[in-house]
A and B are shown apart, each in its own frame.
Chain A
Amino acid sequence: MNLAIQPERPKPNSASKAKAIIETRDFSFAYGPTQALFDISMDIHKKEVTALIGPSGCGKSTFLRCFNRMNDLIDNTRILSGQIKISGIDIYKRDVDVIELRKHVGMVFQKSNPFPKSIYDNIAYGLRIQGIKRKSELDEVVERCLRGAALWDEVKDRLGDSALGMSGGQQQRLCIARALAVKPKIILMDEPCSALDPVATAKVEELIHGLKTDYTIVIVTHNMQQAARLSDRTAFFYLGKLIEYGPTEQIFMNPENPKTEAYVSGRFG
């Protein structure tokens, strides 16, 4: 007789190679003379939510920005060693088209930054730049993205209104919708909820949870409860080093490293 019923949810796949969409190896990075990341090696898995946690200044945002080469925009940044592969391609190779990379790897920031345009145009803008002009096609993508960001029902009757009139939580979900427009595979989020109230935060978390059926999400959060609730895997950074990385359940229930234990139980940071 077998009384055991299914575990709470599927364990994150441990056959890491097969599901890795981002592979980072011995990656070290510096802002001018200051090294910010030290020999980071970790795989990020397809269609999972991966959380990067750690005290302020430990390098979470820096690491996140490396995945779509946002750090290229900052002067004097250097890769000291190692590589990052996305879908098998070394993204720092000379012949990589950074614009294409950023379509593939979208980003959502802490402070929602809608354009001072209508809700509709916030999403259609990027598509028009890409040369998509047909109204019916634009309509379709706008609806798909707003639905994808769980925003459609709230805004479908006022698509022409300015995005700046929306609540903070709606603006953030609009930015997520905008990121979806170019059909990325990966969405990077840097503290996407820290400027939101609890209800809006819950809505964005629900959205992120739903998005992982189609997208790979990497989220930086200062909120450990959020990482615990939302992510399949968690990486703990400290002083530019990756201290521990594993299934979220392990990191929060039984971490191996005493530093991780101290951090997740709120003893420092």
Chain B
Amino acid sequence: MQRYFHDELQELRNKLTLLGEKSNDAARLSVESLLEGDLEMVDRVLALDDAIDELEKEIGHACMRYISLRSPVSTDARLILVALKASHDFERVGDEAHTIARKARDILIREGRLSEPLKFKEMSRLSSNLLNDAITCFVEEDIEKAEAVIKMDQEIDALNKHHYEILTAETMQKQLSDASRFDAVLISKSIERIGDHAKNLAKEVIYLLKGN
């Protein structure tokens, strides 16, 4: 039987999806700002952070409220747990985007455009698609897609490793300042973590749907 308060769960799902999309936007734009050399875009990404944090708090409150007033069990209880974990993952994606944007600004100010053959564009596209797929598998309750997300995360890990090797190689030491190479390693690591959060979300969706 559909109860009047079940609408609140749908609203919670909507909010969570919105948070996912916003954090994904921030992540994508942060790398784009680096690749485009766009300092204005850097500022826009940095400004997104507060709104993302605010939305995470709202979701936390909605969960707390639902637990207090609706005594959820079974799927509904799992949804609440997933919403709390996933919103935290999204908030962390927002933090990574913030970190990337700050490092991007440092690099851009130091070097102008980054001309080195790093695979940030590919890596960012992968992590963004992954996060997008993770959100979709939540919305569409698609276990197969969730399992695919978990596997695909490895490609991002491989690119991160590749970056680490390039950036620590001797040839690179001549082309890029130590500070910028260090920042680039951190950016790569941040993108890799965004992939991890997408993977976490996919695992949470599987838990939500399977119950174990």
B51 x A229 contact (CB < 8 A): no
Q: Which of A1, A199, A210 has the largest number of chain B CB atoms within 10 A?
A: A1
A253 x B51 contact (CB < 8 A): no
Shortest Cβ distance from B93 into chain A, in angstroms?
14
Asked whether A206 and B55 contact (CB < 8 A) given A1-B48, A228-B71, A252-B69, the answer is no
Hey, which chain B residues are within 8 Å of A229, CB to CB? 5, 69-71
Which of A8, A228, A248 lies in contact with B11, CB distance below 8 A? A8
B18 x A3 contact (CB < 8 A): yes
| CA–CA, A3 and B17, complex, Å | 12
Q: In terms of DSSP, what is the predominant structure of the interface of chain A?
A: helix
Mask: chain B, 1-35; 1 = CB below 8 Å from A; 0 = not: 10111001001001100110010000000000000
Taking residues whose C-beta sits less than 8 angstroms from the other chain, chain B's interface range is 20 to 34
Shortest Cβ distance from A157 into chain B, in angstroms?
23
Hey, which chain B residues are within 8 Å of A228, CB to CB? 68-71
| CA–CA, A252 and B62, complex, Å | 13
> Which A1-41 residues have a C-beta within 8 angstroms of B?
1-5, 8-9
Asked whether A253 and B4 contact (CB < 8 A) given A3-B18, A5-B14, A5-B15, the answer is no
Hey, which chain A residues are within 8 Å of B14, CB to CB? 5
Which of B4, B8, B18 lies in contact with A5, CB distance below 8 A? B18
| CA–CA, A8 and B11, complex, Å | 7
Shortest Cβ distance from A198 into chain B, in angstroms?
10
Q: Does A244 belong to the interface (CB within 8 Å)?
A: no
Q: Does B109 belong to the interface (CB within 8 Å)?
A: no
Smallest CB-CB separation from A253: which chain B residue? B68
Smallest CB-CB separation from B2: which chain A residue? A206
Q: Which of A8, A209, A249, A252 has the largest number of chain B CB atoms within 10 A?
A: A8
Which of A3, A206, A248, A253 lies in contact with B54, CB distance below 8 A? A3
Q: Which of B11, B22, B68 has the largest number of chain A CB atoms within 10 A?
A: B68
Q: Does A262 belong to the interface (CB within 8 Å)?
A: no
Hey, which chain B residues are within 8 Å of A76, CB to CB? none
Q: Does A166 belong to the interface (CB within 8 Å)?
A: no
Taking residues whose C-beta sits less than 8 angstroms from the other chain, chain A's interface range is 20 to 34
| CA–CA, A70 and B69, complex, Å | 32
Q: Does B64 belong to the interface (CB within 8 Å)?
A: yes
Hey, which chain B residues are within 8 Å of A248, CB to CB? 69
B68 x A3 contact (CB < 8 A): no
Q: Does A225 belong to the interface (CB within 8 Å)?
A: yes
> Which A169-219 residues have a C-beta within 8 angstroms of B?
199, 202-203, 205-206, 209-210
A3 x B64 contact (CB < 8 A): no
Which of A2, A225, A249 lies in contact with B65, CB distance below 8 A? A249
Hey, which chain A residues are within 8 Å of B15, CB to CB? 5
A interface residues (Cβ-Cβ under 8 A, vs B): 1-5, 8-9, 199, 202-203, 205-206, 209-210, 225, 228-229, 248-249, 252-253
Pairs A-B, 7 closest by C-beta atoms: A228-B69, A3-B51, A253-B68, A252-B68, A209-B4, A3-B55, A225-B71
Q: A202-B1, A229-B5, A229-B70 are in contact. List 18 more A-B contacts (CB 8 A).
A: A3-B19, A3-B52, A3-B55, A5-B11, A5-B58, A8-B8, A8-B62, A8-B65, A9-B8, A206-B4, A210-B4, A228-B70, A228-B71, A229-B71, A248-B69, A249-B65, A252-B68, A253-B68
